[in-house]
Structure 1
Amino acid sequence: MTRHTENTQENHSLAGDHPSCRFSVAPMLDWTDRHCRYFHRLLSQHALLYTEMVTTGAIIHGKGDFLSFNEEEHPVALQLGGSNPADLAHCAKLAQERGYDEVNLNVGCPSDRVQNGRFGACLMGEADLVALCVSAMREVVDIPVTVKTRIGIDEQDSYQFLVDFVGTVSEKGGCDNFTIHARKAWLSGLSPKENREIPPLDYPRVYQLKQDFPHLTMAINGGVKTLAEIQAHLEHLDGVMVGREAYQNPYLLAEVDQQLFGSERPAIKRREVVEAMYPYIERQLANGSYLGHMTRHMLGLFQNMPGARQWRRHISENAHKPGAGIEVVQQALDKIPAHLDV
């Protein structure tokens, strides 16, 4: 527990006014909820963590608190979905008041539901509107306002189209920080899942964008799976955002602080991560959360290790049972051979 307390204290000192984009975990719908972010923070103190995309409509009109997060998550960014400048400004102000370290506008999600609401990737075709949205948010907050986008949409996939979009949003909107998913998005014909896999990755196009806008902070996203790949991208760009790999193989985050931020603190071991989750899990259970909502994020922790399959199976088969408690996780951890120092 000492370690966890130290983590929390250092997190606050890192949050600052401008959290680093050198390494971040992507906002992923149905994945990067507050339980996931708490878990990821135990693995890396320095990674910038993002919420799932939250629409302005949900925040303004929805029932429930869509802005809640754990203090231990800092630095943490709120990703917003929307296209109404006034609504986005209102939500950005709420985010700052709640303590978020950054607000990010989603200009990359290709789902039909998002298009119907006029936000996400379809906004790449409305650069002036995106600029208005960013400007409106920047006027009411002091925290960074950033944009996550694609390299193109549908037939609008020329390099010049991307240059014009970034140029307009940066010059008219004042945005100086972009994360570029190095695939274009097909707004019709492909599902969101297919849009993450079928359009080819074009890393050199993002590298060229940074060369043409050297004054802008620019991070890359899409298909990144190893620390070596992250290091290679950092030779060309300011930051790297990792999505599915950080979720499916979360222990990737354990050496981020040492490899990317120069931390001399030894990487936390997998067992230590599980044990550090125990108090959190017990608190959340006491508050009415279900065990499975927390443990689903931990399934990949022992990927490629002896006992990993048994770990996953025990949690998957038992965490959703009525009354399931911390003992399910403890029993699952017992499936990992005791002699392994992992």
Structure 2
Amino acid sequence: MTQKKTIKIPLLDLSRQHKPLMNEIMDALKRNIDANSFILGHDVAKLEEEFAQYCGAKFGVGCASGTDALYIAMKALDIGPGDEVITVPYTFMATVGAIERTGAKPILVDVEPETFTIDAKLIEKAISPRTKAIIPVHLYGQAADLDAVMEIANRRKLFVIEDCAQAHGATWKGKKVGTFGIISAFSFFPSKNLGAMGDAGICLTDDKALAERMARIRIHGRGSKTESIEKGDNSRIDTLQAAVLRVKLPHLDKWNDERRRAAGWYDSRLKGKTGIRVPIVGKNRTHVYHLYVILADNRAEIIERLNEAGIAWGLHYELPVHTMKGFANLGYKEGDFPISESLCKKIISVPIFPGMTESEVNEVTKAILG
């Protein structure tokens, strides 16, 4: 299935965010260029402080991407060869790839059919003596069942690393995600609810020693300018990206509200329609709609109509991770995770972004319904 080249309504329109802020963004970039401040400059430290404060965490450690944030979090917890980490197959491949990068083995469990997040009832059975951590993925802007995940983790003495790549500002029982596990990992990829103008990410934690260790790992394990005291990587967040993110951060709540408004328009027009299921917001959650994903019995027909109308769409995700060739080594097969596999056959992401108008939602829903 391919996208039509002429797009009238995009899946995401970043220009509506950037245009009103362009003077501030350019001033922030110029400030750092004039100061020759490109590597771990003042804006990095301030972003770490401000984003941690926004989420309700004590410490932030910026890094090169959300994928690196997951990897650095696991390295700081000494997760590696011989260990197992539990997560889901219905996620972006980076979640599982980051686990393999440490040398640990990903152990997958299926997701809830309502929220598409980890089914906590399946976790206990997946735990072995080698299990070190659980990575719940807060998918599409909605939290996993954090009470259930944390209860199991605390009882079984396992780490929880939250994958918050799609959930900036989402809450569980009124508390922002990213503050439940021992470490959380966020992506600032440009399409995220809070996005940079390139790759960037951050780890959050309340543990000072872990924050200091993650800050070392991102710069070659350096304990001083001249000595590496442990194995590390080169995964710094660019100061220019941090400067852009600082301009955008004060607008995040407003942008999330605008996403929810558009989601409400979609819900009112699509809910209850034959062959279509709108997103279900689980109990105790505030959704931030990184993506608006419907389930459709006649997906191919809807995609054809969206193409004809010049409306962008996406498949997040077309394949569950365990069926991808790159993860064949995990030893899973088709049929192992029926909920994830079923979702991949029916999901469609339709346009949602801050500043989206009701008339645009009307055009999209008209194409969906035919």
- Do the structures match in fold with TM over 0.5? no
User: Which structure shows the higher helix fraction?
Assistant: 1
Structure scoring higher RCO (CA < 8 A, sep ≥ 6) equals: 2
